[in-house]
Amino acid sequence: MPVRYWPMQNPIAQLRREVDRLLSGFADAVPGGGVLAGVLRGQPAVNVWETADALHVETEMAGVKTDQVDISVVGDQLTIKIERPDVSQEGVTYHRRERPVGTFTRVITLPTEVDADRVEASLCDGVLRIDLPKAEAARPRKIPVHVGK
């Protein structure tokens, strides 16, 4: 089997992504980092897995309605945009305020070509699942061997 180089399977790239994501959480603690903080905090974490004929992307986003999610596929880039409106009320005391608000965008580079027209997404109990069927060219194909004459 040929070894294919996929950015998603490269452990160094994975580690780097992970560290970037973790560090983005610290933007809150940086004085004056207010603009960054709102953008980076609460960036959705994703799980990606693969089956023979599709890629599957899943992300958890509690409290988000279907009209607050925007998904687009351009080439091998999947973009998930989530809007969490700030519903804070005046005149109430907050004892905890951990749930993120704001607009978050996550761009994922897909390891294979997908059929953008057949991408499906569903949202259930705060879990968004996107099914991306692989493009015909990226699917495994069984090649029959004929008996030579």
The stretch near another protein (CB under 8 A) out of 23-31, 70-78, 94-102, 135-143 is 94-102
Q: Is 96 in the site for another protein (CB under 8 A)?
A: yes
CA dist 107 and 120 (Å) reads: 17
121, 130 contact by CB (below 8 A): yes
114, 134 contact by CB (below 8 A): yes
Among 31, 89, 141, 146, binds another protein (CB under 8 A): 89
Q: Is 12 in the site for another protein (CB under 8 A)?
A: no
Question: Which residue, 18, 145, 43, is CA-closest to 100?
Answer: 43
- Give the interface with another protein as residue ranges (CB under 8 A): 6, 8-9, 14, 17-18, 21, 45-50, 55, 58, 60-65, 89, 92-100, 108, 111, 123, 125-127
